[in-house]
Amino acid sequence: MPSMPLTDHVEALLAGPSPLPIVAAGDPVLRRPADPFDGQLADELLARLIEAMRVTMHAAPGVGLAAPQIGLPLRLAVIEDAANVPEEVRDARGRVPQPFRVLINPSYEDAGGRQVAFYEGCLSVPGYQAVVARHERVRLRALDERGRAVDEEVGGWPARIVQHETDHLAGTLYLDRAELRSLSSTQTQAAVERWAQLTPQLAAQELGFGLPGSG
């Protein structure tokens, strides 16, 4: 059966419920490289899609959402993080506020030579979290919603968000990069609190896995 044209697919999504349904792990769309955006959508339709993704991200709630997570094989993602966390968390994780932004055809590369590890989750893998080592700083290249070039260095938690969402566009889930011995349920408060420390060092000690720089 031929696939639905992208414009029709987007129109059908936007005609449906809001917030948009989020695709869960196991759907092939999450495992295939997404198509580059090269003007397949008219400006007005792209703007409507971006707004729907923003609403869906907020409702989830999450700090990023990639188009494959709503079933669209398109290299498009949105990110935003109010970073409403205690100061000690902000300092330990480099979690600073990120205004709403759109990333079209994003890519990243290491810009610091150092990796850091923290617990991470995903809207498409509900109920779990795991420790992922990622680049502390990355060079982000993309286009924004107006087609303007983005070329900047991003560090701390914003760099983690950029890597997570850009990975989605390559068919990669965070679990592919995670230390699976750290996999932890988020279904009970006790399980969440057990590993709620500023860093995953205690989890590494008790669950028996290594962290970057630990030898």
165 in active site: yes
Whether residue 2 has a cis bond before it, omega within 30° of 0? no
Q: At what angle do helices 6-14 and 43-59 cross, to 10 degrees?
A: 50
Q: Rounded distance, CA 58 to CA 39, Å? A: 26
66 φ, ψ (degrees, to nearest 5):
-105, 150
164 labelled as ligand-binding? yes
Which residue out of 80, 120, 136, 165 is catalytically annotated? 165
Q: At 65, which helix (H) or strand (E)?
A: strand 64-66
> Which residue(s) pair with 109 in the sheet?
139
135 labelled as ligand-binding? no
Helix ranges restricted to H, 74-200: 87-93, 156-168, 189-194
168 labelled as ligand-binding? yes
Binding residues: 122, 164, 168
Residues contributing to the annotated binding site for Fe cation: 122, 164, 168
Residues assigned a catalytic role: 165
